[in-house]
Amino acid sequence: MDVDDMQQLWLKNNHLGAPYLSLKRRVTIQACVAKMTIKSGAWGQNRQPPVQTRHQLQYRVSKGTPLLANFTKASLIVPETQAVARLLLEYPDAERWRQAIEVDNVLQAKTVNTAKSYANIARMRLETMTEELWDVIANAERPTAVQAILACALKFSPMLAEFMRTSLADEYRRMSPVLEDRVWRSFFADMALNHRNLAEVSEGTQAKLRQNAYRILTEAGYLAKNKARSLQHVRVLPEIRGYLTNYGQQDILSAMDCAH
């Protein structure tokens, strides 16, 4: 499944309506619109996303909705996501996007294909939140920017958010000193029972998902940078907590609060 397929499936599964789709049409690199007319992010002018409670999320997951295994190609890619956030805040048309990513190489990638892949992944993650958070990612100090990027990544990859809310939170409650491989393997096995698409994921893809999950958790500070993957306590910063609360992103906040 390529990046475009992931985006279409993500849109379908999350039942996003006209405001999001309108924004997508105006921002996407296939379009030729000079500026976006919607300037308040994925939910449109003066609108906020509906509040989604933990119970509602768990109900949706339990019903077997496909849970996308869509973080095999990148971890948090913090500098790249910051560069994409700055670019999106310029409301680029298709040519400006291509020039910045493929010619100017604002992501400082080694190849054009890598630049395009990272740019598209960062963009899809960013477009799950509003421009207010894009501005934080583009301009805030690194600790705040990292948590903002994590929030976007978790919204785009609900399987990772569910892992943090459940299995990882359980390890913190047990005061486990490290995150053992068996925890992720058990979580994935449980998810595969309820989500047919995960049951079909190859061993190689499972390994890549696990590897990137660990990388994301390490970059966000939940795991120490050691071979044992020692658990570390992370507090959600006030600016990020306030944003997630104001925009009804309680499911993401509960995932990020897994250490407490």
Q: How is residue 220 written in tokens? A: 């966000």
Q: What is the pLDDT of residue 15?
A: 45
What is the CATH classification number for the domain harbouring 191?
A: 1.10.3540.10
What is the total count of domains within the chain? Answer: 1
Quote the mean pLDDT of the chain: 82
- What is the percentage of the chain residues whose pLDDT exceeds 90? 69
* Beta-bridge partner residues of 111: none
Coil, helix or strand at residue 230: strand
Domain of 73, in residue numbers: 3-256
- The vertex-97 CA angle with 100 and 87, nearest 5°, equals 75
- The vertex-198 CA angle with 84 and 168, nearest 5°, equals 70
**Which one, of 65, 67, 246, lies nearest residue 151 by Cα?**
246
61/93: higher pLDDT: 93
Q: What is the pLDDT of residues 53-65, one digit of tens each?
A: 333 344 344 445 6
> What's the pLDDT band for 196 if we cut at 50, 70, 90?
confident
Q: Is the pLDDT of residue 157 over 60?
A: yes
What is the pTM for the complete model shown? Answer: 0.77
Q: What is the pLDDT of residues 161-195, one digit of tens each?
A: 999 999 999 999 999 999 999 999 999 999 999 88
Q: What is the pLDDT of residue 13?
A: 52
